[in-house]
Chains A and B, each alone.
Chain A
C-alpha cells in the first residue's frame, strides 16, 4: 500500500480538490512560462513537478506550509534543473539575463500569482487600461488614443483600477500598501 501521508497529499491535490488542482496547474504553468520563457519548457516543468510531488510526498510537513507552497518549492527546483539541461538550451533565450531570476522565496511566487489572478478578475474598464499599460507597455497618452478617451479619464481609470486591485488583494489577506 502507499504510505498514508503520500496518499493523503496526492488525494488532496488530484481528487479532493479538483478546482484547486486546476488552479495549481494553471499557476504552475504561468510560473514555468515566466521562469523559462518557452511554452514547451513550461509544460515540461509542470509535468515534472507533479511526479516529484508524488515521490517526495512523504517529506511534506503540513505544519511548515500549505500544499501549494510545497508544490512551488518543487516547481522552482524543476525549473532550475530545466534551465541547466543542455537539451533546453535551444529553447531558452540566447541571453540568460532575459529570464527573470528564480525567486529566493516561495511566498514571492505565490504573491505574484495571487496578484496576477486578482488582476485577471478585475472588471473592465479598469482592467483594460491596466492591461494595455502592463502587457503592451502603452503610456497613458497612447492608451487614450487607442481607446478614444480623454487622457484624464485614462488616468482616473488607472488609479481607480489600482485601488480596486489593492482592495481585492486586501480581501485575500495580501497587503500591497
Chain B
C-alpha cells in the first residue's frame, strides 16, 4: 500500500536520511520518528532506493589529460610492431623454406 503522506511535507531529516548524511545518533532518532510520520515515510519510500545508489557512486574525478593518448599508444604501438613482424615473416623468401 503506498504511504498516505506527502514527501514534500517531510521533515528535512528525511532528506538527510535518504542521502546518508545523518549522524548515527540522529539516524536512530529518525528511525523512531519514521514509524509515526506518514510524510517522512512517503519521502523514504519515494527516494530511498535512489539514495542508496547515490551513496555508493564512483567519485567525479576527471581523466588525466594525457592518459587517453598514452593508453591508445600502449595498445597500438605494440600491435603495429606485432603486425609488422608477422608481415616480414610472410614475405616470400623471408621465412625458412620447409625442407
Q: How many residues of B contact A (CB 8 A)?
A: 42
Per-residue CB contact flags for chain B residues 83-98 toward chain A (1 = under 8 Å, else 0) read 1001000000000000
Q: Which residues of B contact A112 (CB under 8 A)?
A: 53, 56-58
The dominant DSSP class at the B interface is helix
Q: How far is the CA of A54 from the CA of B72 in the complex (A)?
A: 11
14 A-B contacts (beta carbon < 8 Å): A1-B86, A14-B76, A21-B72, A30-B59, A46-B67, A51-B78, A54-B75, A120-B60, A130-B54, A134-B19, A139-B16, A156-B8, A159-B7, A159-B8
CB distance B79 to A2 under 8 Å? yes
Chain A min CB distance to B13 (Å): 8
Q: Which residues of B contact A61 (CB under 8 A)?
A: none
A107 at the interface (CB under 8 A from B): no
CB distance A154 to B12 under 8 Å? yes
Partner of B16, one of A39, A133, A162: A133
Q: Which residues of A contact B7 (CB under 8 A)?
A: 159
CB distance A137 to B21 under 8 Å? yes
